[in-house]
A and B are shown apart, each in its own frame.
Chain A
Amino acid sequence: MSNENSVIYGLEFQARALAPQLAETEKIRFVIGTQSLKQANNQIHLVEFNEEISTIKTSVFHHSEGEIWKITTSPLDSSRLATCYNAVASENSCAFRTAILRLPEMENPDSIENLEIVTKFDTSEFGAETKTTEFHPTDSAKAASVIDNNVVLWDVADSHAKAITKFQLEGKHNPKFTTGKWNPHQNCNQFTAASETHLKTYDSRTGDLAWQIDGAHHQLVRDLDYNMNKQYHIATCGDDGFAKIWDFRQPASPVYSSNEHSHWVWCVRFNHFHDQLLLTASSDARVLLSSAASVSSENVCDTDDSRGAQVKQLLPDGPLQWCDHEDSVYCAEWSPSEPWVFASLSYDGRLLISRVKKSLKYQIML
């Protein structure tokens, strides 16, 4: 719909892993991991978007360990990233692994390098499928992995990660976690993981269940995201096509709910700066930028902030902007450095870097 202000970057391979470089606060950088069963072909692309001239600069690295299912980046060290990958062992077997990698300081333009593995994880004792490895938001020595029905807390200071503790999900039908995330608030002591239609949050110090939302969606919860500016708000999306925002102190019903997508919603993201902007990616091949201004931190009349002295005209809730892809979109991410830029990656290996429409931008800023 709004291709006039977006830039396309095509990959040769199918891909479903995209992450913003969280620690990079000046350049607009995203990391993409490809997914190909021919594991030697797998690559990691570092894409840098120059906003002023709308061009893309990329660096390509090999990731020959296996096909990448998930990439996360460290919020503290811009060179570190974690991948969850599927390594094919033989004709008939493959295994999920995870590792922390380091991007090189200097780029070698002549050859495509393999990334250096900084930390290896031994996940075999916890389960078969590693869904994600999440860096701790403030402690560079900590990370958490979601493996089958476990959330494992690691010490990643050394080259071999040591498991500190794990939180296990018990229940009928062998429930498994689908994804997880650190809570950036409350001293980053909580880790939230999604399992089927439920959200479980554990206190990383004690391992206790801190809070939970049962039946957040009618079908599988695919993704979740914390609002950086509002400490009790969390967004979820799922197979029922809904994106919802919860105040997890009131788990009975969401504070915001939208059903704009016609298939599963795979990814939901709050804008880091203007949390009224909500990005969702769906397998109906569309990315939707919608407004959740009614529950955003900007909705309250903040008196301590001098800029927000006068009451702003809020956008109405609802869809604002669509981006069309050719195939299912599994990832969409805001740039952590530039509030108005976001990237979305579709399965056919096409990355779309888009800007928020000018008119919307002005409406939000003014």
Chain B
Amino acid sequence: MGEKNQNQLDINGPNFNPNVYLDKIFKECTLRQIMDHENEIVKDTQTLHSDMQTLVYENYNKFISATDTIKKMKNDFKKMEDEMDLLMTNMDSITSFSEKINSNLQDTREKICHLSGVHSLLQRLQFLFKLPATLKSRMDEKNYIQATQDYLHAQRVLQQYGDMPAFQGIKGDCESILDELKNELRKQFSDPSASTAELTESVDLLLQLEEPAKELCTDFLSCADKRLCEQLVLLKDESEQRGIAEFIDLGCTGFLSDLCLIVASFHGMFINRINTENIENSEIFENFAAVELDSFVNENMKKYFDLVKNKVDSEQDIADTSTLVGALDNFYMRVCDNKFSNSTSFAQFAIEIISNAGRKQCKAHLQLLKLAFSDTVSRVKQVLTAPKLVSQDESSKSLNELLNSMIVTVVEKTKGVLQDLVAFINPEVSFAKKTAFTEQFCIGNVREGLIICFLRHISVSVKNFCSKGVLDAKIHPSLILLLSRFCLDFRNNSVRFLISKTDEIFNANSKRNGIELTNESDISNSMQESAQYLLNHYVQLQGHNCSQMLRKSVETRDWLHTIEPRTVRAVMKRVVEDISVIDATVALVYEDQGTTTGNSSDSSRKTHSISVSKVQYKSNWSSYTPSHLDSTLVSNMHKLFSERIDIFSPVDFSKVSILTGIIKISLKTFMECVRLKTFSKYGLQQIQVDTHYLQLYLWRFVADENLVHFLLDEILGSAVHRCLEPVLMEPSVVDIICERG
């Protein structure tokens, strides 16, 4: 509303309302102001009026000039109309003239057209007539591609008009040349020097010439086959002279790359190409070609694998593992990289070959280890049988050293072999990632086939040193003792070490599924068994050695006619000496385990025991007064109260136990020999002296001295039984004789 009011008040606006304006002025302004305003408005009105007058004047002038112009135009149009009519008549006359000319020229034109057609026909005919010659020259130039293209140009014509007599000759010529060409091309198949690329080209051309694809395909493959065969023969020849690495290299660069090329070109030529041209047959043919190719590749790869396998197998003795692994790696990568065939996975075969190689390597290593082991043992044997070392100390040192060096040698050798074999599962080696291989190799070959086998071999071969029936003196007893200790040490430390080392290096533990793992304890047990067996054997051997001396000494003497004993017989001293030596030797090897009683006794114990034993001795002896001698009652009573003595109870791995065993065997023998003899009084007394002497010196070697006493009592008892005049010597005299030595 306010706006409207304002608009109404705007003197220049379109809605100006003079009454409202005036009302407003009258209301708001003073008289004076109104007066002024009136003047102003009058002045404005006057100026506006004059302005309007000038405008009207100007526009009037313009209107007059426009009217003039229109008049002039009217005249001009009339003139133009006339001229147009004139033009029309002219055009009509021109048209009639041109028609006349056209009809005059018609004939000539038709003639020219005909002539040009005849010309082109003649040109083509000329090409046809020249074709045989061209083809021939192309053939001479060996430009087979051009020749083929030329022929293809002419082919349709020849096909169409071939029956006409004029063309028959040409067709015949062409076909014969073409046959020649085809032959030439096929010849290239069989040309050994032709490269695969050339072959491909030839096949390509032949295909263009619409040779039957199947036939070509088989031809191609048979040619390729021949070439590959040559490669293989070459490889075979080389295989005998070259190292494995070179051989694999040769195979990869020669055979495999050729095969690749053949397969690739075959794909290019036969399989992919057919697709584009003949869709109906393509599928059938493609299948056919694929099958052909597959069988071809399979056959050749098989031959190649056989060759590689033979090579790997025939590698002499033991190849350098890293070289072998390198070669195999190369081989595997090449085989895997090349996708020869969709259906067959050659990687599988390759893995098989590599596994074989791994197994063979393990076996070879095993053989080496066995050899090394037997070498070590025979070296030790030599050292032992070599002339005695000067002093006891030295020999003692050497025995321990021998043992240690033996263990160290064997363990180090084995470790070395493991390190060597690690190459097979080096993560950088391509085939090491294949679980099929690693599992078989790590567990089957290395762990079971090598380490376990070797350990078993040790425990078995060591046993063979004293196999049945070989209880002879050729083998140095110390060797047996040493080997026994060796087995024991191996059981205690090295077996676990080696097996855990193997497991660690070859991750055998993580892949427990599949192959059954031999338990460490199995090996330990068999080691322990061997150690025990050897130790038993040692005891038997030494026992028999002492027995032999005792037996000879008893058998060769005439006990019925002997003089009164004055000394201990030398044999007894010898036996004691021998046992002391054995004791010293055994102490070197089994010293640390001699935890049983007697060994470390001090002097006080010694005197004590002697006194005790003397008491026992006397008390026992006293029972053998002549009056009782005719009865076995006493000894039987004695037996009732004493424990039954096993002559040969199992020996522990301790010095005392070993010596107890030896002494038991010796004393038992002594008794048996005594029982076979008949004694006079003095003979019996000699035995009395001897047994007393043994008693004085042997107790210290055994765990239970009562055992020695008991056996010696038995000996003396037996002697008493076998005596015609059983009168014993005074114990004091016996003491004196024995102390005198």
Contact = CB atoms under 8 A, between A and B. Distances in A.
Nearest to A215: B472
Contacts of B186: none
Interface string A232-244: 0000000111101
B644 A326 contact: yes
Residue of A258, A284, A349 with most chain B CB atoms under a 10 A cut-off: A284
A306 interface: no
Contact of B544 (A38, A219, A285): A219
Interface stretch (A87-95, A152-160, A294-302): A87-95
A218 B468 CA distance: 12
Contacts of B669: 239, 263-264
A218 B648 contact: no
B723 interface: yes
B672 interface: yes
Contacts of B560: 92-94
B725 A91 contact: yes
B721 A14 contact: yes
B665 A94 contact: no
Contact of B648 (A37, A244, A262, A328): A262
A254 interface: yes
Interface string A173-193: 000000000000000000000
Given A263-B668, A347-B675, A92 B561 contact: yes
A91 B547 contact: no
A219 B550 CA distance: 13
Interface string B450-488: 000000000000000000110110000000000000000
B630 interface: yes
B540 interface: yes
Nearest to A12: B632
A15 to B, nearest CB: 11
A98 interface: no
Interface residues of A, number: 34
B636 interface: yes
A284 B646 contact: yes
A38 B471 CA distance: 40
Contact of A262 (B468, B646, B675): B646
Interface in A262-301: 262-264, 283-285
A244 B675 CA distance: 25
A194 B678 CA distance: 22
Interface in B570-587: none
Contacts of A326: 639, 644
B544 A94 contact: no
Contact of A283 (B471, B672, B724, B725): B672
A23 to B, nearest CB: 30
B677 to A, nearest CB: 11
B157 interface: no
A240 B540 CA distance: 9
A43 interface: no
Contacts of A92: 560-561, 680, 724-725
A349 B468 CA distance: 33
A100 B724 CA distance: 26
* Interface pairs A-B: 8 shortest CB-CB: A262-B648, A284-B647, A218-B471, A263-B647, A257-B469, A262-B647, A240-B471, A257-B468
Interface of A: 13-14, 37-38, 86, 88, 91-94, 218-220, 239-242, 244, 253-254, 257-259, 262-264, 283-285, 326, 328, 347-349
27 contacts: A13-B632, A14-B721, A37-B678, A37-B721, A37-B722, A38-B630, A92-B561, A94-B724, A218-B544, A219-B544, A220-B551, A239-B544, A239-B547, A239-B551, A239-B669, A240-B471, A254-B469, A259-B471, A262-B540, A262-B648, A262-B665, A263-B669, A264-B669, A264-B672, A284-B646, A284-B668, A285-B644
Given A259-B468, A285-B647, 16 more contacts: A14-B632, A91-B724, A92-B561, A218-B471, A218-B544, A219-B544, A220-B551, A241-B540, A242-B468, A242-B471, A253-B469, A257-B469, A259-B471, A262-B646, A328-B675, A347-B675
